[in-house]
Structure 1
Amino acid sequence: EIVCCDCPADFDIVAEECRGLYTTVLSQKTDTLAVSIEKCQEIEHHPIIIRNIDDQMYWMNNRWSNSVRVIGLMCNNTFKLWQWIDGSAMLFKPQKYDKELDEDCRPGNSWYLFPVAILFLVSNQTMFFADAP
C-alpha cells in the first residue's frame, strides 16, 4: 500500500483537513491575524476555522489547548460582517458570542482561543470574553 499525505509532520488529519501547530510567534504587532496568515501561508495552510461544534471541540481539547491560538476570522470591510479567512461565511457561532459576532465588525480586531474561553476579542484595548462551557 502507498499512502501519501500533504500534511506537515505532527499534524492531524481531521475531517479531510490538516490540523496542527506550525510555529509559535511572539508578536508585538497589533494585527496578529495578519501574522498568523503569513506564517500559515509558508506551508500553504490558514489559521483556525471553526465551522461547527466538532471543530470547536477539536481545537479546545487538543494538545495545544494550553496556548493562545488565533482564530481565522476577519472583518469584511464592505459588509461589516465577520467571515473566515478563506472567504466563507461564518455560519456557526458559539453560544455566548452571537451578540459580538452579529455586531458590525471593525478591521484590525482579532479572535483567539484561550484555555479558559472559547473565543476572545481584542478591540482597541477592550477585551470581551465568556467562560468556556
Structure 2
Amino acid sequence: MNGSEEGRVQQLGSLDSDEENLIPSGTRYSLKGFRFQPLYVLKKTSGQLCHRLSPFVLQLFCLTLSTILLLAILVKVSNVAYSQEQERTKKEKVYQEMTQLKPQINLLCRPCPWDWTVFQGNCYFFSKSQQNWNDSVTACRKLDAQLVVIKSDDEQSFLQQTSKEKGYAWMGLSDLKHEGTWHWVDGSHLLFSFMKYWNKGEPNNEREEDCAEFRGEGWNDAPCTIKKYWICKKSAMSCAEK
C-alpha cells in the first residue's frame, strides 16, 4: 500500500469514529430486519403503533362479541316464540277436533252399564238367575246398587210390566224386623198410598212370608228363602249436554 492509500484509510477511520461519537451511548445498530436502524427507534415506533391499535382492536373484539351474543339471544327468543306458537296451534287443533267429535261422543254416552235398563233417571238390572231374598240384597250391593225400592206410580207400572215378562222377582221390601210393618231396604216405611199394589188378599203371611215379590198384576208376600229373580236399582249417570 502506497502512502496515498494509507491516508485515505486513515481518513475513513476518523470519519467513522466521528459518526460513532454522534450516536448516544448505549445505542446499537440492528442489522436484522431494518438495516442500520437503531433499536430504540424501532421500539419507540412499535410501542406507539401498539398503543394506537390496542384500544381499536379491543373495541372491535367487544363489538364482535356483543353482536354474536345479541344474535344468539335473538335466535333463542325466536325459537321460544316459535315453540309457543306451535303449542298454541296444537291446542287449538285438539280443541277443534274435540268440538267436532262431541256430538258423536254424546251419542255413545250410556247413562247405565251394559245389560242395565234406564228409566226416568235410574238404572235397573233384571237378573238372569235366581237367589233367595237375602242373597239378592247382597248381589245388588256388589253392583253398587240396592234391591229395588219403588218411589213412584210410574216406576211401579214399569217394573210390574217387566217382571211379568221375565218372571217373579224380589223387590227390596220386607217385614223381617217387625211382623206386619213393611220397610224398604233403604230403611223407609211403605207408604199407605202404595198399599193398593198388593194383590187381592195379600199380604197374608201364610207360610212365614216376610219378603215381597212382583207377581202377576201386583205384589205378593213369600218366604224369603225361596229362590227368585231379583231387580237392582241405582241412579243413572248424566251425559254431557250436547
Q: With the length of structure 1 as denominator, give the TM-score of the two structures.
A: 0.65
Give the greater-gyration-radius structure (CA). Answer: 2
User: Following TM superposition, by how much is the alpha carbon of 1:66 offset from its aligned partner in structure 2, in angstroms?
Assistant: 3.3
The structure 1 residue matched to 2:212, chosen from 111, 120, 128, is 111
Does the Cα contact within 8 Å between 1:22 and 1:40 map onto a contact in 2? no
Aligned to 2:115: 10
Greater RCO structure (CA 8 Å; 6+ sep): 2
Residues 12 and 77 from structure 1, CA distance in 2 versus in 1: closer, same or farther, beyond 3 angstroms? same
- The gaps in structure 2 that reach 5 residues or longer are 1-101, 225-242
Helix, strand or coil for the counterpart of 1:19? strand
Q: How far apart in 1 are the matches of 2:223 and 2:177?
A: 15
Q: Which has the higher strand share?
A: 1
User: Following TM superposition, by how much is the alpha carbon of 1:69 offset from its aligned partner in structure 2, in angstroms?
Assistant: 0.6
Residues 70 and 108 from structure 1, CA distance in 2 versus in 1: closer, same or farther, beyond 3 angstroms? same
Q: Which amino acid aligns with 2:117?
A: D
1:46-85 deviations in Å (ceiling 9; x for gaps): 1122222211111122376331110110226269621110
Q: How far apart in 2 are the matches of 1:87 and 1:50?
A: 13
Provide the alpha-carbon RMSD of the alignment. Answer: 3.3
Helix, strand or coil for the counterpart of 1:113? strand
Q: Which amino acid aligns with 2:146?
A: H
Residues 73 and 63 from structure 1, CA distance in 2 versus in 1: closer, same or farther, beyond 3 angstroms? closer
- The gaps in structure 1 that reach 5 residues or longer are 125-133
Aligned to 2:184: 84
Q: How far apart in 1 are the matches of 2:182 and 2:141?
A: 21
Residues 96 and 60 from structure 1, CA distance in 2 versus in 1: closer, same or farther, beyond 3 angstroms? closer
Aligned to 2:221: 121
